[in-house]
């Protein structure tokens, strides 16, 4: 049994398979009898999920005059993160659990900073207060080809705000994720254009090696 805290994050654009792969990894570690939790952002706690619903509702407002300003939108994401960190991530780390999170800080950078041109300094100042020096131990960036993520989005029965951005926005965000990960030891970029069992196995083997479990 792995007895140290470990924080794993999956990042990528919509249709990259990050949610799917993060859940597969969770199930594999659970089967391996590890102390592991699966969570997501925005969301992960009751309060953060309420904020998530507000963000999603705003996106589908037809009247653009009542839509949130990009800084209001960003503050809502950060508010949800604050709730998530306080009520789920920190307690789990204190109990030395393995945390698998579907999105975290890098999504804010890719979407809000690179995508919507929100001030990086603005976000960093808030993160200094709410992150409590928490950083992921391992981040998987799932890179996906255009035809693959478009095909996956088309197949989705229910769509939310994240599934309705322009194609160029996704491509821009993906470039941002790759730029963030470049030459950083705690990041691993994987091609997820085909969600094969081979990819699942590769992710699991990487994590097992990091955790030093069999």
Global pTM reads 0.91
Q: What is the mean pLDDT of residues 124-152?
A: 92
Q: What is the mean pLDDT of residues 24-40?
A: 97
User: Would you say residue 68 has pLDDT above 80?
Assistant: yes
As a whole number of angstroms, the distance between CA 112 and CA 117 comes to 6
User: Would you say residue 77 has pLDDT above 90?
Assistant: yes
Nearest to 54 by CA among 90, 91, 79, 84: 79
Q: Could you state, in order of their start, the residue ranges of all structural domains in the chain?
A: 6-211
Check residues 106 and 55 and name the one with the higher pLDDT.
106
The dihedral built from the CA positions of residue 181, 183, 187 and 193, taken in this order, carries a sign that is positive
| 39, 101 Cβ separation under 8 angstroms | yes
Main-chain phi, psi angles of 45, to 5 degrees: -135, 165
Residue 68: count other Cβ atoms within 10 Å of its Cβ: 15
pLDDT of residue 194: 86
CATH 3.30.1490.480 is the classification of domain 6-211: no
């Amino acid at each position: 049994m792995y007895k140290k805290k470990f924080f794993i994050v999956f990042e990528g654009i919509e249709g990259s398979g990050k949610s799917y792969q993060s859940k597969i990894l969770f199930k594999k570690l659970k089967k391996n009898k590890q102390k592991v939790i699966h969570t997501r952002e925005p969301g992960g706690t009751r309060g953060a999920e309420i904020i998530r619903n507000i963000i999603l509702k705003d996106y589908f407002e037809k009247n653009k005059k009542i839509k949130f300003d990009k800084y209001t939108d960003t503050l809502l994401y950060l508010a949800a993160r604050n709730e998530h960190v306080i009520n789920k991530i920190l307690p789990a780390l204190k109990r030395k659990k393995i945390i698998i999170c579907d999105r975290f800080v890098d999504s804010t950078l890719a979407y809000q900073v690179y995508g919507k041109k929100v001030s990086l300094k603005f976000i960093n100042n808030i993160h200094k207060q709410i992150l409590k020096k928490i950083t992921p131990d391992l981040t998987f960036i799932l890179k996906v080809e255009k035809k693959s993520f478009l095909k996956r989005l088309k197949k989705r029965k229910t769509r939310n705000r994240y599934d309705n951005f322009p194609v160029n926005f996704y491509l821009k965000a993906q470039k941002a994720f790759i730029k963030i990960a470049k030459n950083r030891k705690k990041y691993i970029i994987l091609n997820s254009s085909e969600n094969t069992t081979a990819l699942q196995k590769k992710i699991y083997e990487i994590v097992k090696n990091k955790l030093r479990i069999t």
